[in-house]
């Protein structure tokens, strides 16, 4: 048994949340994501810790019950999962929510394909503060697209 498997997942998640909030405060990332959880209850259990850590770093969080699914990450990573998004500037969470809405409109118009679909993933990568090279790498290496 590896040391990692002996860690309890709640404590591990809390460590990730703390680290990501530090990089959001430092301006290294515009938004950061908790690791996805399988149930709403698991994600909600992290909210009190999220409140405390966000207060410590001067950040905010958004409980996302339907994470944005793009070709940036394997579909199984986030489909049907729950996530908490950490951010410093209100404009960044608004951009995230607008991106989700724009994707939904494209789907409804039958236009979520080709360059429009790719652009949603690229903009999401930029919100996560990934470089263009990293975004291209994620897109090209993802073999489990939506």
89-122: pLDDT as tens digits: 999 999 999 999 999 999 999 999 999 999 999 9
Domain range enclosing 90: 3-141
- Please report whether residue 116 resides in a domain: yes
Residue 47 inside a domain? The answer is yes
Can you give the pTM of this predicted structure?
0.92
Tell me if 146 is assigned to some domain: no
Classify burial at 15, counting beta carbons within 10 Å of its beta carbon; exposed 0-12, middle 13-18, buried 19 or more. Answer: exposed
Tell me how far apart the alpha carbons of residues 42 and 116 are, in angstroms, rounded to a whole number. 34
Is 78 part of a structural domain of the chain? yes
Number of domains within the chain: 1
Residue 70 lies in a domain: yes
* Per-residue confidence band for 4, with pLDDT thresholds at 50, 70 and 90: low
Q: Report the percent of the chain where pLDDT is more than 90.
A: 92
């Amino acid at each position: 048994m590896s040391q990692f498997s002996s860690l309890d997942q709640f404590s591990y998640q809390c460590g990730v949340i703390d680290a990501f909030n530090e990089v959001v405060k430092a301006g290294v990332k515009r938004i950061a994501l908790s690791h996805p959880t399988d149930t709403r209850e698991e994600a909600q259990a992290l909210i009190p810790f999220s409140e405390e850590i966000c207060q410590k770093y001067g950040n905010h969080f958004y409980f996302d019950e339907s994470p944005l699914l793009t070709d940036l990450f394997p579909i199984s990573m986030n489909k049907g999962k729950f996530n908490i998004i950490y951010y410093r500037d209100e404009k960044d969470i608004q951009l995230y929510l607008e991106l989700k809405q724009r994707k939904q409109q494209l789907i409804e118009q039958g236009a979520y394909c080709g360059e429009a679909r790719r652009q949603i993933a690229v903009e999401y990568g930029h919100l996560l503060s990934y470089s263009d090279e990293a975004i291209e790498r994620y897109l090209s290496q993802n073999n489990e697209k939506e």
